[in-house]
Every structure is written in C-alpha cells, then in structure tokens.
Structure 1
Amino acid sequence: MYNLQDFVQKSKNGDISAFMELLKEKESLIYNIAFSYTKNPYDAEDCISEASIKAFDKLKQLRSEEKFYCWFISILINVCRKNVKTSKSPSSEEDLHNIRDEFSYQSVDDKLIIEDLLCKLKEDDREIIVLRYLKDYSIKDIAMIMDMPLSTIKTRIYRSLAYLREKNGGMKNEY
C-alpha cells in the first residue's frame, strides 16, 4: 500500500526513486496544471522538470509530509507563472479554450457558459475558482498554493461567485 509519509521521508533522505513515485502518483493532475498555464505540452513538461528539481532540492524545508502535493503544486505554479511571463502570454480566449478539454461537463452549453463566465474574472480569481470548483482543492490548500492568507481566498471566492452570478443574470443553482 502507498504510504505518503514514508515516501516523503525517504525522499527527504535523498531517495530520488521515492520522490519520482510521489510525482507519478499525481502525474495527470501535475501535467494538467502545468498545461493549463503553458498551453503547450513541451513547455508543460519543462516546467514539471524544473519544478521537480527545485522541489527535490528544497524538500528538507517541507514541514508537513501530508502537505507534499500542495507544496509541490505551489512550486509548479510559480515555475509556470515565471515561464509564461518570459514567453509570449496567451490571450484569455486561448486560455479558456484549452481549459475546456480538461473538464467534463454535462453539455456543450454548460462548457460555453462556464468558459464565458471564467473569462470575465481576473487571472488570480480565475485560478482560485478553477482550483476550488474544478480541481476540488480545499480553501486551505488553495491558500497555500496561491501563497495568500486564508481570509483573502475566502473573500475572493465570495466576490468572484457574486460577480459571476451577477454576470449570469442572477441565476442560482437549480439543485
């Protein structure tokens, strides 16, 4: 059985194969996050490699083994952001078309509505909403990934959802 704390501890002791097993465990999530920033499979792989090297070098700084994936993803996001800033930045329209294929919705209409609404948010707010509602991260984990206070994340989610409701004609969930 896979034991996260054992693998993290082995990795901290210099076992690179244990570290690679940790990354393999969430391989598709890691790739999807990198691709959502870079919009290019080669750049996504480069960012993952760079983030992996940085994370392995700084692994001893990780205080809580159970937070390994949040910690690694925050490093990955920072690497991807740096990569996107140094390369030509894609338009938000391109960004949303690439996000479309990553998630499954009940209908094409749902995809179009969600893409249109996400396009109306600022980049940081969009990232927070995507991490919370499309990637199912906890608010605490998002605060760690985005390197923001928990209260700021809660406020941004509340304001973003209020803004999206307003832009969507005040509609609420029909559940």
Structure 2
Amino acid sequence: MFQTDLIEKCRNNDRKAQWVLYRKYCDAMFCVAKRYLPNREDAEDAVQESFIRVFRKLHQYREEVAFGAWLKRIVINYCLDKIKLEKEKLLSLDEIYPQPVEDDPGGWMVDDHVRPKMVIRAMEQLPDSCRYVVMLFLLEGYDHEEIAQIMGITEVNSRTLLFRGKKKLKELLTAKTV
C-alpha cells in the first residue's frame, strides 16, 4: 500500500515523494546502469535521466508489473540508446556470473579453470548485438519476447543472437585466449 500511495503522490508532482522514490531505487538502478556503461559518471547520468523520464511518464505506469521492473526497463533502454548513439564499449561486470540457459541442450557449462573475469573479457569481445542479447538474457533475466521489445528485433532474431553469442563465448573460453 505504501508503494501505491508513494507512486500516486509522485504522479501529483509531490517533490518529497519523488525524492523518497528516487532514494528507494537509485542504488539498484545505478548497479544496472553500471553493467552497460563504461564509467561511474555515465551510469550516474543514466540513472538521473531515467528518473526524469520516469517522473514525466509516471502516468503511463499501470501497475501490471512491479514498479522496480518497469523502472529497470527504462534504465536499460536508456543505457542501450546511449551505447547505440556513442558506440561505447561495455564496462567490466566484476561480480556477474552467467546463468544456465534452459533451451540449450548442452547447458551452460564451462571448465573449472574459467573465472568470472575471463567470462567478462570474453563477453566484451562479442559483437555488440550478440553481447546485448546475452547480457539481457543471462544477466538481467529477460525472455526473448522482452529482449525483442527492448532491442527492436524479432524474437527469432533474439534467439539467434543468443545462440551465436553463447557459441562464441564457449569458443573464447575453451580457447583460453581471453
């Protein structure tokens, strides 16, 4: 109930409520932005700009999904738009581990010698389109329908890019050239 009341106050331009909502989510959204943008300042800007978008478009939030999920999607979209415009490299993802993929009959298994930093370096070597789909699927937990909407591609294309990205990651990690 508190969340609903807070959002309603924000819709009515209550600055104190907006500050409370911002403080509640800013750290988590900063972590999301840091996964996509190369430095702290860019990630901070992404969070600020995303919250500006949120407060301007809060009337569009229909509570069909959790507010945090809606906000996270806005932050990710902002980051991807920024990357597309500036063609920047992704930053390191120091504490992220890939999750198993259900639709992969071989599973997402790598040798014991593979460390998170190796996976990060390998992900940075993927082509942009594959890298973003791999990140959205494995790290953010989006399904192909959501990835297709976020990236502006078809679900089939999302599946294809994920398959290619995972295949390339496995090659890079197996070759130990990371």
TM-score category of the 2 structures, normalised to the smaller one: 0.5 to 0.7
C-alpha distance in 2 between matches for 1:144 and 1:2: 30
Q: Decide whether the 8 Å contact of 2:77 with 2:150 is kept in 1.
A: no
Residues in 1 aligned to 2:7 and 2:152: alpha-carbon distance in whole angstroms: 22
Q: Could you say which residue in structure 1 is the equivalent of 2:135?
A: 130
More helix by proportion, 1 or 2?
1
Shift of 1:169: 4.2
1:60-99 matched pairs, under 5 angstroms: 60-84=59-83, 90=88, 92=89, 95=90, 98-99=91-92
- In 2, Cα distance between equivalents of 1:144 and 1:18: 30
3-state SS of 1:58 partner? helix
The answer as to whether partners of 2:94 and 2:120 remain within 8 angstroms in 1 is no
Q: Distance in 1 between matches of 2:57 and 2:82?
A: 20
Q: How far apart, in 2, do the equivalents of 1:99 and 1:53 lie?
A: 26
The amino acid that maps onto 1:99 is S
For 2:43 and 2:61, the matched residues in 1 are separated by 24
Q: State the partner residue of 2:108.
A: none
RMSD of Structure 2 on Structure 1 (CA)? 3.6
Correspondence list, 1:108-119, <5 A: 109-119=114-124
CA distance in 2, matches of 1:47, 1:99: 17
Change (3 A) 1:38 1:22: same
- The gaps in structure 1 that reach 5 residues or longer are 171-175
Which residue in 1 is equivalent to 2:39? 40
Q: Which residue of 2 aligns with 1:103?
A: 96
Give the stretch that moved more between structures: 15-24 or 39-48: 15-24
